[in-house]
Structure 1
Amino acid sequence: MGEQLEAYLNQARSLAALVAAEADGVAARTRLLLSMEEAYGIRQIIITGSGDSYFAAMAAATSIRAWTGLPTTAMVSMEASRYIDHGRPPLAGRNRGLLVISISNSGEAARLVEATHRLRRLGAITLAITADKASRLGQAAEKHLEIPIPAAMPAPGTRTYVASLIGIYHIGIRIAEMLMCMTMDHAEALRRELKNTHVALLEAVKASEPIAAELAKKWASASRMDCLGSGPSLASAHYAAAKLVEAVGIHATPQDAEEFHHLNYFVDDPQDVPTILFAPSSALSHARSLELVDALDQLGRPKLIVTDDSAYCGSQDALILPAVSEAFSPIVHTVPAALLAAHLADLRQVPHYRGHTGPWRGAQNAGLVRNSKIELPK
């Protein structure tokens, strides 16, 4: 299991170099994606994907909505493929005001390929973010932002997730700039800030590694966990829960920090349900997160507060990360999520994805995702 652990740790440690190396190139390529006529015709943006790609959509949707002023929705691929067009025929360009951004590193997820075909047929502008323009998704989409990243030892999606985040953020910045919703200077400042998250990623690894290793020992026997956040940090909660499921096999539940008070607050045996709360100090939801910490204490839940709030310095329940804007916090949150999952899997001596064996053998070569029948209207 040592090789598995090292591969996963190295993915997390490599994120800073990845962002530093790729950000400028991705920014340059986004400038060529849309014409001014196309940009000014956009009336709605849907960002769609599955798994980590959907979490990347969630992470960026609120910021793109704020930057552009356009209705922007993160949508799972099943909804995008089956519940938008409802089999309607093309409507002579009336849907050209819809921009659909489809995210998939492999470009082979069947439901996303289907969604892109169907919505392009409906009249939408379709734009794929993928590592492989020649993939089925690349062929289905009208436009492409290709982000091929250097290969690394296999581990639950980490580098690919951050690459998707870089891509979708840059697209949002460019659209806002084209629509003059922000000045060129503001757009360039955001691009610099996005690239400079590589510094925060380096510091996040240093801060997270010892805490993740220690928490793994304390939480090694847990069978349930909750991951909480709001706004962009809800995407971080989803990502963290996904890594705990994929790498460790723990039943981990992501939940909005507000909704927690309505739902998972009431589960039995709260002392046996470790909880991770993503709570950057710059978040619009930060005051509510502080109240949530009190609720977790009253429940007696073991917890980790992932924050940059210096008020928590010295707390044994806090992981203090470098401060970045709320918009880009999901990039930095990737580090503790991956490191904790890596150490837990190693301590429990379990293979990632259950080794794709036994009852999980159907997932070999992503067969359950890639081989699903693609249904297109006649």
Structure 2
Amino acid sequence: MTSSEQASTQPGQHMAAEVAAQPEVLAGLVERRSGIAEVAAEIARRPPRFALLAARGSSDHAALYAKYLIEVLLGLPAGLVSPSTATLYDARPDLRDVLLVAVSQSGGSPDLLEVTQAARRQGALTVAVSNTTGSPLNEAAELAVDIGAGVENAVAATKTYSATLMALYLLIDAVRGGAAEHVRGIGELARQALDSSADAVGRAVDRYRFVDRIITTGRGYSYATAAEAALKLAETSYLAARAYSGADLLHGPVAAVDEETAVLAVTSAGKGGAAMHEVLDAVAQRGADVLAVGSAAEKVPAAVRVGLPETAEEVAPILEVLPVQRLALGLALARGGDPDRPRGLHKVTRTR
């Protein structure tokens, strides 16, 4: 984009458009799931002992979601890779009969590329999940999944994040022999989620526009949404945002919660949401101002509730993140920022 084109756009214009595009993007991925199913069939043909996931930034939160999917739906141990063990310390563990999934929207991060190359040399079955066909990461991995979200102009990842969640779900569901039955109507559900939550998100923007720090929290699958929420609020609104699993929040950090603390709690129908009741009782007793997001938001104590359509628990994060992205957009604009071009950030971050 040229400097004159940048000057002609309104703050947040790209992020708003990309948030709104997600129902179509998600529906399209489900329609094209046959390509993902082919990758899943190859994984099923060579069943791994365990799985590793490599990612950075928003993709790391998508990988966290996939970790829960793999452990719960496939019954396999799964872990998140520390890329520096390969890039800085030259560690070369035995990865025979191991599945390594590298998740990167751009497919161009040098550390993920090196991790994938090293893992393949060490015997792992490597899969790249990215939004860039023909990327170095796709070429390095044995198998590749294209999330197909299209070009994303805003720096903050929105449609690429939800599409990555969708692609990972379709992949893991297909490995277990599923037919994507829980996401067949995901495009319409996403549209409902955006439309039905708009008023509540507007109230949340008004209520929290002057807050300085916020804690985000969730359990189970929704912990990934809490982590992504903290990142979105930090990078677009420059808030001091910190994510905790609900369990970890009770193991010490709750001591820092008081009347000046805003808490964004992700709570959807299912075991993870049910486990959040104890957490929210604890922060409520300390006077925190709670914003609840999810299909079970109406069932918990909160100052503002953003309800969502109910789905199978394992696909709830695909919808949960939508109003969170709108919240980050709205707060950034209300605080005088431009979430399309947050200070000091670039679309592709190259680390090693």
* TM-score, structure 1 normalization: 0.84
Indicate the residue corresponding to 2:267 in structure 1: 279
Q: Residues 36, 339 of structure 1: CA spacing in aligned structure 2 closer, same or farther, 3 A cutoff?
A: closer
Quote the offset at 1:212 in angstroms.
Answer: 1.6
Quote the offset at 1:277 in angstroms.
Answer: 0.6
Indicate the residue corresponding to 1:352 in structure 2: 339
Structure 1 contact 204–322 (Cα < 8 Å) conserved:
yes
Q: Distance in 2 between matches of 1:365 and 1:323?
A: 33
Indicate the residue corresponding to 1:10 in structure 2: 17
Indicate the residue corresponding to 2:4 in structure 1: none
Report % sequence identity. 22
Quote the offset at 1:12 in angstroms.
Answer: 1.9
Quote the offset at 1:365 in angstroms.
Answer: 5.6
- Name the SS for the 1:96 alignment partner: coil
Matches within 5 A, 1:1-378: 3-25=10-32, 27-33=33-39, 39-78=45-84, 86-87=91-92, 95-177=95-177, 187-188=178-179, 191-267=180-256, 270-282=258-270, 284-309=271-296, 312=299, 316-352=303-339, 355-356=342-343, 360=344, 363-364=345-346, 366=348, 369-370=349-350, 372-373=351-352
Q: Distance in 1 between matches of 2:49 and 2:103?
A: 20
Deviations 1:299-335 (A, max 9, x none): 1111111132375399653221110111011100111
Structure 2 contact 289–302 (Cα < 8 Å) conserved:
no
Q: Residues 76, 224 of structure 1: CA spacing in aligned structure 2 closer, same or farther, 3 A cutoff?
A: farther
Deviations 1:207-256 (A, max 9, x none): 22222222112211111100000111100000101100111111100100
Q: Distance in 1 between matches of 2:122 and 2:212?
A: 44
Q: Distance in 2 between matches of 1:319 and 1:37?
A: 38
Structure 1 contact 7–155 (Cα < 8 Å) conserved:
no
Deviations 1:261-298 (A, max 9, x none): 12321116x2222101111121x233331122221221
Quote the offset at 1:23 in angstroms.
Answer: 1.4
Amino acid in the other structure paired with 1:212: V
Structure 1 runs of 4+ aligned residues shifted over 6 Å read none
Q: Distance in 1 between matches of 2:334 and 2:100?
A: 42
Indicate the residue corresponding to 1:184 in structure 2: none
Quote the offset at 1:196 in angstroms.
Answer: 1.6
**RMSD over equivalenced CA pairs, Å:** 2.5
Q: Distance in 2 between matches of 1:333 and 1:76?
A: 27
Unpaired segments of 5 or more residues in structure 2? 1-6
Unpaired segments of 5 or more residues in structure 1? 178-186, 374-378
Q: Residues 70, 137 of structure 1: CA spacing in aligned structure 2 closer, same or farther, 3 A cutoff?
A: same
Quote the offset at 1:152 in angstroms.
Answer: 4.8
Q: Distance in 2 between matches of 1:137 and 1:67?
A: 26
Quote the offset at 1:37 in angstroms.
Answer: 8.1
Quote the offset at 1:73 in angstroms.
Answer: 2.4
Indicate the residue corresponding to 1:376 in structure 2: none
Q: Residues 79, 320 of structure 1: CA spacing in aligned structure 2 closer, same or farther, 3 A cutoff?
A: farther
